[in-house]
Amino acid sequence: MEMEDEEMQPELDRVLLELNPPAGEKAMIQYAAWGLQGNQLAYVFEGDIYYQPEMTKEVLLTYPAYWWSKDGARLAYLTINNSATPQMEIPHFLGGVYPSNVFFPYPKAGSTIPTVSLFVVNLYDRYISMVTWISSTQLAVRWLNRAQNQSELCEVPLFSSDGSWFYLTLPAKQGARGEFRHIASLPAQPAIPSVPPRFLTYFLSTEESRQSRHLYSADLEGIFQRQCLTCNLLDDCNFFKAEFSPNQTYFTLYCLGPGVPKVTVHNTKDPSRYIVLEDNTPLSETLEGKRLPETVFKTLAADNHDLHLKLSLPQGYEAHLLPLLIIVDGVPGSQSVTEEFAMGWPEVVASTHDVALAWVDGRSGVGRGQKISSVDPRKLSSLRVKDQLGVVEWLMQLPYIDDRRIALYGKAFGGYLSLKMLAATDQLFKCAAAVAPITDFKLYSAAFSERYLGLPAKEEHTYLTASVLEDVHKLKDENFLLLHGTADARVHFQHSAELLSRLVKVEANYSLQLYPDEGHILRERRSVQHSQRTLVHYLHTCLRHNPLLASIEEPDEDEEDD
């Protein structure tokens, strides 16, 4: 449907302008993004933020360290002082007779972390005529424009348009499952009775199902009345992301699955009025007639919690025994079991090689409430391994799963868990592939490691228990593949190097594939294609049916009678 008050504009001619950072032609910009007014653009180069009033195109997408005000007049940004943070050295081997080294600050568990400060800069020409502390926590600032004929009195912090209310997500009890986070409105000055203005708050919720995401509105005046805006709104869409215009007149809706993703713009007052920005018609046409896998969701009861399972099964899966590939993630706070659309190499393996795929969300996933997420963080691996193995045991009982052909795949934390699962079992799994696995949390990011394991100096035993390096003797006879880029700045190659050193000492059975000068995400097209072919070939070889081995492993009826 089309909005009656909207008119589609013709595509404008594209104009290419250069950012021209100070370093010259070979400079690499870390991040660039539009502001909220006109053609404002800010970009990050060598850790500094540059503001450019007129630009035409967004350059990169990553996590920014700056935030625009709604009117585009101010920019808040972080400054990070890494001077006391230890330096990480990553060698680059290609392109010269001698390797070159890249140094960058990287705080590992127990080391000095950076100091962070927050600043706000006014992008318009202004004067400050007065600064006064209102209380021990509030500051008032009077601003004058350059002509000095307009002034603004600002109270810091500002929470709402009139500064009288602010909003938080706070845990609230919800039945026997414990506390869940809900939106709460609080007055900035609780001693003064006041009534909040009538307006709607918008939020994403898992109320329909844990694997879905729908957009809701809620009237905060009187009875908390909520309405699902996206339920049954678009065909084959249950997992959404939304972005609102500054005045909340319109919102952009990203349908991420289970069907082919699409992007639409909706009228906030009447969401059924919308225009389609992108419907991925070429992809939909390409998938027509293809043997796409069938998706099944299951919830399994465990000790005081539920385990959630997503199965991707090739067509006709009940006709014969299938090998099983478990995609392991398990990062605290992540969610693998969703209705998001995906069409990567695992789905290709499922469709072309008749392999069942499985994803598992244990007790620490999102959307589970405060009670579930408050498990002992020091049991970083043991509880997650227990949850994964509990689901594997259930999967092995399915009549169409071949319990002798089960493989694991994981990257980073998922690779870590895959190796931990191998070590916790005695050749239960036929093989495993671990990409850039974390092997020792003392070598990993301080922010992550210390959040879940504490400081290494105080929790030495916890770090040893969590480390894969202490389990190499249990991995000796397991069949697994390691893949790692030597220039990985997220999970340093040092993790794999330490593991390989110990695997060699115990004469372990493993395969290895390195990608010189590649990072955590492979950039070179040939590297990406090679890694995918390597994984598919390795897993296909591992999981393919071998009639000779089957006849040896399965005794005939006469032998069983004996």
pLDDT tens for each residue of 166-207 = 555 666 666 666 666 666 665 544 433 333 444 678 889 888
Average pLDDT over residues 295-323: 89
Which has more confidence, 301 or 188?
Answer: 301
Annotated domain spans of the chain: 31-124, 198-284, 290-550
Say how many C-beta atoms besides its own lie within 10 A of residue 354's C-beta: 22
pLDDT for 29 equals 76
**Alpha carbon distances (Å) from 239 to 140, 233, 242, 254, 260:** 43, 12, 10, 8, 11
pLDDT for 305 equals 81
Pairing of strands 431-435, 401-411: parallel
pLDDT for 80 equals 80
pLDDT for 96 equals 79
pLDDT tens for each residue of 346-368 = 888 888 888 999 999 987 666 65
Tokens linked to 471: 């389990």
pLDDT for 466 equals 94
pLDDT for 517 equals 95
Range in 128-132, 256-260, 341-345 with the lowest mean pLDDT = 128-132
Query: Looking at the chain, how many residues does it have?
Result: 562
pLDDT for 486 equals 96
Which has more confidence, 79 or 540?
Answer: 540
pLDDT for 12 equals 44
Say how many C-beta atoms besides its own lie within 10 A of residue 486's C-beta: 20
pLDDT tens for each residue of 381-425 = 888 999 999 999 999 999 999 999 999 999 999 999 999 999 999
pTM of the entire structure?
A: 0.74
Q: Highest mean pLDDT: which of 173-177, 244-248, 462-466?
A: 462-466
pLDDT tens for each residue of 144-165 = 776 666 777 776 543 455 555 6
Element (H, E) at 421: helix 413-424
Domain 290-550 classified CATH 3.40.50.1820? yes
Q: Specify which residues 410 forms β-bridges with.
A: 328, 434
d(CA 28, CA 394): 50
